[in-house]
Amino acid sequence: MALATQLDRDTQVTLTDKLRGYWALIKGKQTLLLLATGLAGYLSARPDEITAATAGLMSLSLFAAISGTTVLNMVLDRDIDAQMNRTAWRPLSAGVLSCLEASLFGGALVALGLGLAFWLGWLFGLVVTAGAVLDLGVYTLWLKRRSPWAIVFGGVSGGMPILAGRTLGIGQVDGLGLLLALSVLLWIPAHILTFSMKYADDYRRAGIPTWPGVYGFDSARRFIARSNGLRAIVLVASGWLLGICPYSLGLLALSGFITLTLSLWAVMRPSERLNFCLFKFASVHMLGSMLLITLGGML
């Protein structure tokens, strides 16, 4: 009976459903945002010497490595996704794709991404590999189900694309690259903690120890405000050290001030609506900062 039900469900899954499922697995918006940081890191290094071929291969490498890691994360977290209302629709939970299909897809993407990365440069390859290992091994397998501090290691892995891009551009890991990676790490609380507050019941049901769930919402809001304040300082310092044009530097400072103001307002007058606005603005601020750093260095 169970086999017949499975076969019946499989016959209802069309090719279009599967293709949409594969795209959903890679979390396109998140992947493209992290790819934008990698491009910013590369272009910040030596924009006058960029070649379309190198930039294209680097982008393909990062896209494959990031998206493949995301797919494998979803394979590892499929039991959690099935327990949460927010994620029950995902391809593995909904039965659109099998665990084997997703694993092969994610593994092939990671292999392509890392293979290209090491072909472009051994140090670039090591940084990209470090991002995948930190995300899959340290964040997902080791800490996510055990500690609210898992977001720190998730943030470090999120900073690897921009560090990798700059490393490829200059041929070494430098202080500026680490500073740019730190700016991404400091972005993570505004992105993740606001989200985990909005879906606190889901995370509690799945048994995931989020920061708001363990330390409380007030602590999470203060954490976000502090990280946003530090991020504004780090971004302005990075822009100044990179020598970006004064207009871009000023806009970088202004956007950081707006983000910090929203964060402090959320601490003083917490509301679900403000929390959602802060979540949305965090991603806009990240993308805008990368554009300002990139374009400001070319002017």
The confidence score (pLDDT) of residue 48 equals 66
Q: Read off the tokens for 259.
A: 């983000």
- The average pLDDT across 110-128 equals 97
Count CB neighbours of 191 within 10 A.
24
pLDDT tens-digit series, residues 202-246:
999 999 999 999 999 999 999 999 999 999 999 999 999 999 999
Question: Which pLDDT score is estimated for 10?
Answer: 47
Range 288-294 average pLDDT = 93
At residue 8, does pLDDT exceed 80?
no
Please state the pTM of the whole predicted model.
0.92
Q: What is the mean pLDDT of residues 19-37?
A: 94
Domains of the chain: 15-172 (1.10.357.140), 174-299 (1.20.120)
Give the Cα separation of 49 and 102 in Å (integer). 38
pLDDT above 60 (res 266): yes
Model confidence pLDDT, tens digit, residues 47-71: 666 788 899 999 999 999 999 999 9
